[in-house]
Structure 1
Amino acid sequence: MAYLWPQDVLSAVETGDISALEAFQLLQEMDQVDRLAKYKDTSSSSNSQKRVEEILHELDSLIGLNSVKKLVREIYAFIEIQKRREKERLVTEPLVLHMIFKGNPGTGKTTVARILGKVFREMGVLSRGHLIEIERADLVGEYIGHTAQKTRDQLKKAYGGILFIDEAYSLARGGEKDFGKEAIDCMVKAMEDHKDELILILAGYQQEMENFLLTNPGLRSRFPIHIDFPDYNDNELLSIADQICALRQYKISQQSKLAMLKILNSLKNNEVSGNARTVRNIIEKAIRRQAVRLMSKTITTREELMLLEPADLLEVKE
């Protein structure tokens, strides 16, 4: 007979089914199994926490985004404490983690969403933690019923992970008769029916996303986490330029940085002036300009092959 609990063993002694010595040996074995289980649980939790910290270090290595990093760590701490409370049989807060990302293009929204997916996977909130990135065209169909099917297909791909909808406000632009409303209704239903399998992140420009939330009274309450992604300042943009160049084994001199600032200042009041995508585009074009410039030389040094000169960047403006 298998004894699952210590009280079962004690009862067996009282009824004479086993001797006191046999009971002592069984209780020792139970204690060892219990210790091993606790060790494995602690070890697994420790390894998971270590992996989460490594992922958060990836977040910390991103330039700027200080307020975003702070909020992500708050979300991580909230989930961890709720799990600990659950173990102690305390009342827990519901894990509603659907989010709104507000900011201009190229300010790190997709990158942060991917990192969140990995964090949630390690914490057991999501089974896969992958990111499905879509926009209006991936959801809205051309005839009645088509939108619901397209939306369900995209939701199905995202189960176990994050569905990231860029320029989400475009779903509400056509008014009541637009098929975008059908996509929204379908997503809201999925948020209820598959609440433990899916996290939705709606992203877009600051003001447009605010207006979008006003189109459906229930949307704001379903997306309790709002994260603002500010434009990068000049110093952050130059740091991003250094980072991009280093990854590609190029160098950008101080004079070249001044040339880049000149280009960025010429884009002021443009929605793309303060983002990483603009910097990357400038550098990629500068690399091509540098290649054309160096073709006139029969022999080039390692330094010349790596250095982006001011003229390479300023040409981009033309």
Structure 2
Amino acid sequence: MKQTSKEGRIHVVLNPKEKPVLAADWPDQPEHSLLRSIEQEMEALIGLSGLKTLIRELYASAYISKKRTEAGIETKGHMLHMLFTGNPGTGKTTAARLIASMFKRLGLLEKGQFIEAERADLVGEYIGHTAQKTRDLVKKALGGVLFIDEAYSLARGGEKDFGKEAIDTLVKQMEDHQNSFILILAGYPREMAHFLSMNPGLQSRFPLIHHFPDYSVDELLQIADVIAAEKKYEIDHDSRHILTAIIEQEKRLSGFRFANGRNIRTLIEKAARRQAVRLMAQSVHSKKELKMLKGEDFQLSQ
């Protein structure tokens, strides 16, 4: 379900008993082929049920807005700037790219380019330089999506840092170029709360705020299988309980700094190196042995 605050911001809140609306439940019409294509892309994503619901809502809103226009109903453009919060490796960048692709294919964006930026792309070295760099970046993004990851880094230096100038300029550009581009800011929850406090008009500019929760252990195991397969490895079935224990331990010790998918990728890469050392003791290697990651490889990777 959606909750709308007094400021008009939409917060996507999932009821665990609610079943998301699937494309298969919608009318089987050729004009919905784009949604079905997007649905197939999302099927490859593990977890992220809240994101999948959000994307369906965005598609439906765009579709019905088009129908309203065709029916002669005056329809004003919706601001689609977004704020993503979540711990490392929870899929924020993947989500931004998918949403940009959908908007481009829907024709909501004049050009549809997707531009990723970080602090260094906005913050200059002297007074006035930052504002110009930020304006130039927004100009480059007009007609498309500007994605700024770790956006809280703009607030890193406090009041006297040039990052504040970048924030103020972004707010002004969002006002000057309403509906001309989509700005997506992403970062860790605690840091983003401080970031939003740097400019009183910043938070109200984002009608869509979405939190990416940490992956469950079962989802992380699925991610491990996907990453291993990408690298042409397999995880020994009999050793999965060892990998499960390692993931649970890392989640417990790392707390909110647990890097989710990134941690899993590191685990697989370490295990692959340990497997290589283990196999060096043999002179003959079967194809199965060369592909298999065993429990001892993960134990030694800690």
Contact 1:120 1:126 in 2 (8 A): yes
TM-score (norm 2): 0.84
Aligned residue in 2 for 1:180: 163
Match of 1:254 among 222, 227, 237: 237
Larger gyration radius, structure 1 or structure 2: 1
* In 2, Cα distance between equivalents of 1:47 and 1:179: 50
Letter in 1 for 2:266: N
Aligned residue in 2 for 1:138: 121
Deviation at 1:79, TM superposition (A): 1.4
Contact 2:85 2:192 in 1 (8 A): yes
Aligned residue in 2 for 1:302: 287
* In 1, Cα distance between equivalents of 2:239 and 2:198: 46
Letter in 1 for 2:205: R
Aligned residue in 1 for 2:40: 57
For residues 26-105 of structure 1, what are the structure 2 equivalents within 5 Å? 49-105=32-88
Secondary structure at the counterpart of residue 114 of structure 1:
helix
| Structure 1 gap ranges (5+) | 1-45
Contact 2:117 2:148 in 1 (8 A): yes
Aligned residue in 2 for 1:265: 248
| Structure 2 gap ranges (5+) | 1-28
Aligned residue in 1 for 2:275: 290
Deviation at 1:275, TM superposition (A): 0.9
* In 1, Cα distance between equivalents of 2:257 and 2:157: 26
Deviation at 1:81, TM superposition (A): 0.8
Secondary structure at the counterpart of residue 316 of structure 1:
coil
Letter in 2 for 1:161: G
Show structure 1 runs of 4+ deviating over 4 A.
none
Letter in 2 for 1:305: L
Deviation at 1:150, TM superposition (A): 1.9
Between the aligned residues of both structures, percent identity stands at 53
Secondary structure at the counterpart of residue 75 of structure 1:
helix
Contact 1:99 1:223 in 2 (8 A): yes
Aligned residue in 2 for 1:231: 214
Match of 1:109 among 79, 86, 92: 92
Aligned residue in 2 for 1:277: 262
* In 2, Cα distance between equivalents of 1:294 and 1:261: 24
Q: Deviations over 1:76-124 (max 9, x none)?
A: 1111111110111114353110000000110000001000011000111
Secondary structure at the counterpart of residue 300 of structure 2:
helix
* In 2, Cα distance between equivalents of 1:303 and 1:316: 21
Secondary structure at the counterpart of residue 79 of structure 2:
coil
Contact 1:114 1:130 in 2 (8 A): no
Aligned residue in 2 for 1:38: none
